[in-house]
Amino acid sequence: MKNDQSAPFWQLFTMGAVTLAFGIAVTIQPDATLLLLGVLAGGWLLVIGLMRLVGALDRKQGMTQRVLDGALGVILIVVGVTCLRDSAKGIIALSVLIGLAWLISGFAGLLVGLLARGRARIALFALAAASMAMGLVFLLWPEPSVQALVLLTGITALVIGTAEMVVALQWRRADRHLIAQ
């Protein structure tokens, strides 16, 4: 029997892998320009938004989760396109966009966590808290140096991406265990 309360393994694992790759790319060159950060953030947000939209089409998920995934997907895609179209507007605008993306993603994770059970619930709450905390950091201190923003973004993406991949692997292992019984 499959665990229909959780996002599919491939969806969460792909989001984690993309977030991890984003973090690696950002931390390799801490002196990267704001334009590069805007392009990377825009691409990352587009992929994450698309994955959320795909999740909204999964009929195995409850209606609430599908609506949340769909709404979040659209918002993330809009923010991603905004970053790609004019990433040189300034550090404050990009900080606000990234902060809002982390907050919205964290809020959605919190709501999905309320629908989950057991260890998945705890993991989703932890991911949501980390995402919302980083969102607040970006919104409360929007004018740090470009290097600090790049490094903070990279480290955050490394942590969140790794955690998402670990949670996905745990869910997959739990699903296999349920099927074997």
pLDDT single digits (tens) 20-30: 998 898 788 66
Report the distance separating Cα 139 and Cα 144, nearest Å. Answer: 11
Looking at 20-24, 95-99, 164-168, 174-178, which range is the least confident one? 174-178
What would the DSSP string read from start to end of 123-145?
Answer: HHHHHHHHHHHHHHHHHH-----
CA angle 55, 57, 60 (to 5 degrees): 80
83: closest CA among 71, 94, 95?
Answer: 94
Q: Span 168-172, mean pLDDT?
A: 89
- pLDDT > 50? residue 70: yes
- pLDDT > 60? residue 41: yes
Q: Which residue has the tokens 């970053």?
A: 83
Q: How does DSSP classify residue 6?
A: S
Report the distance separating Cα 92 and Cα 81, nearest Å. Answer: 17
What would the DSSP string read from start to end of 40-86?
Answer: HHHHHHHHHHHHHHHHHT-TTS-HHHHHHHHHHHHHHHHHHHHHHH-
Within its chain, how far is the Cα of 129 from the centroid?
A: 12
